[in-house]
Amino acid sequence: MDVRAAPPDHSECRAVADVLTRIGDKWTVMVVGALSKGRMRYSEIFRQVGGVSQRMLTLTLKGLERDGLVSRTVYPTIPPRVEYELTPRGRSLIEPLHALMTWAHANRAGIDACRQDFDRRA
Amino acid sequence: MDVRAAPPDHSECRAVADVLTRIGDKWTVMVVGALSKGRMRYSEIFRQVGGVSQRMLTLTLKGLERDGLVSRTVYPTIPPRVEYELTPRGRSLIEPLHALMTWAHANRAGIDACRQDFDRRA
DNA sequence: CAGGATCCAAGCCGATACTG
DNA sequence: CAGTATCGGCTTGGATCCTG
């Protein structure tokens, strides 16, 4: 089976790669993971995704919203309340991402061992 | 279904994220995609993966080798001949990555449309 | 509370030139 | 052929401070 769903057309290839760099980055995966549990407000996501800075969380959410993967709802109260939720397209991303995270979790230890081996030999 | 296969343990979370940043980057995905078609030498991969620089190809391959996802075989001929091949663990990555690429390909157009919409409104 | 703005260090990455 | 070495631009991302 050919993993590269795209033909040897380079423009197609770059387009897919472009999408991948967007949805494949660390924080995006974590945020989608958090939102897969349901609608959530900014501060909740912030707590769920450990280690992210406010700046990166905002940028990641904005990127996801721009791509139509996340919807943003503002309640004009004081203090403000903003909730985020996966769109249908965003939810369609859960399954492939889940497969990746499962793989990562299952292979983490083996990879670490390989790295130490490799580094010791070098 | 919870995408985050890991518990709310932050060290686990970072570890999975670490693996993800490695295997999720653009060139890694492309290289694994190319190698999914079988054993291949350096220059072949270089041609298959359009747009990659020698430097990045070398770094990507070395990273994959370090993680035990790719094996490297040198034939001490002149000129030298080096072949790369996915290890069993590397092959186990094909399926999840394939799912991601299929998703990317299927949603590329919709995402582009959303972006233009978003940018026009802003 | 949910960001926007700014600053700055770290590192990624492409281009280029060189080598066994 | 299959890399290595070096340089420089540019992005990335964390820290910090500020606001409606």
CATH number at residue B75: 1.10.10.10
Q: Is residue A4 in some structural domain? A: no
Name the pTM for this structure.
0.87
| Structural domain contains residue B1 | no
In a domain, residue B55? The reply is: yes
B90's CB contacts (< 8 A; 6+ apart) are B32, B35, B64, B68, B69, B70
Mean pLDDT per segment of 10 residues, for chain A of length 122 residues?
46 74 87 95 94 96 97 96 98 92 90 93 85
For residue range B63-109, list pLDDT tens digits in order: 999 999 999 999 999 999 999 999 999 999 999 988 888 898 899 99
Q: CA B15 – C1' D12 distance (Å)?
A: 20
C-alpha distance from B42 to closest chain A C-alpha (Å): 18
CB–CB of B35/A4 below 8 Å? no
Would the Cβ of A69 be found within 7 angstroms of any atom in strand C?
no
Say if B85 falls within a structural domain.
Answer: yes
Distance CA B100, CA B106 (A): 10
Reply yes or no on whether the pLDDT at B24 is more than 90. Answer: no
* Residue B84: inside a domain: yes
Q: A82 lies in a domain? A: yes
Residue of A25, A36, A51 with shortest CB distance to B3:
A36
Return the beta strands (E) in chain B as ranges: 40-41, 70-75, 81-86
Among B50, B38, B43, B53, which residue's Cα sits nearest to residue B81?
A: B43
To the nearest whole number, what is the mean pLDDT of chain A?
Answer: 88
Q: Tell if the CB–CB gap between A19 and B111 is shorter than 8 Å.
A: yes
Give dist(CA B1, CA B88) in Å, integer.
Answer: 28
Write the secondary structure of chain A as one string of H (helix), E (strand) and C (coil). Answer: CCCCCCCCCHHHHHHHHHHHHHHCCHHHHHHHHHHCCCCEEHHHHHHHCCCCCHHHHHHHHHHHHHCCCEEEEEECCCCCEEEEEECHHHHHCHHHHHHHHHHHHHHHHHHHHHHHHHHHHC
In a domain, B82, yes or no: yes
CB B101, CB A7: distance < 8 Å: no
Assigned domain for A3 exists = no
Q: Is the CB of B82 under 7 A from strand D?
A: yes
Q: Residue B11 above 90 pLDDT? A: no
Domains held by chain A: number: 1
Strand partners, A75: A81
Distance from C-alpha of A71 to C-alpha of A16, rounded to nearest angstrom: 23
> Is A116 within 8 Å of chain B by CB?
no
Q: For residues B17 and B64, give the distance between their C-alpha atoms in angstroms, rounded to a whole number.
A: 16
Residue range(s) defining the domain that contains residue A69: 10-121
Strand D: positions under 7 A of a protein C-beta atom: 1-6, 13-17, 20
CA distances from B67 to A36, A112, A119 (A): 29, 7, 10
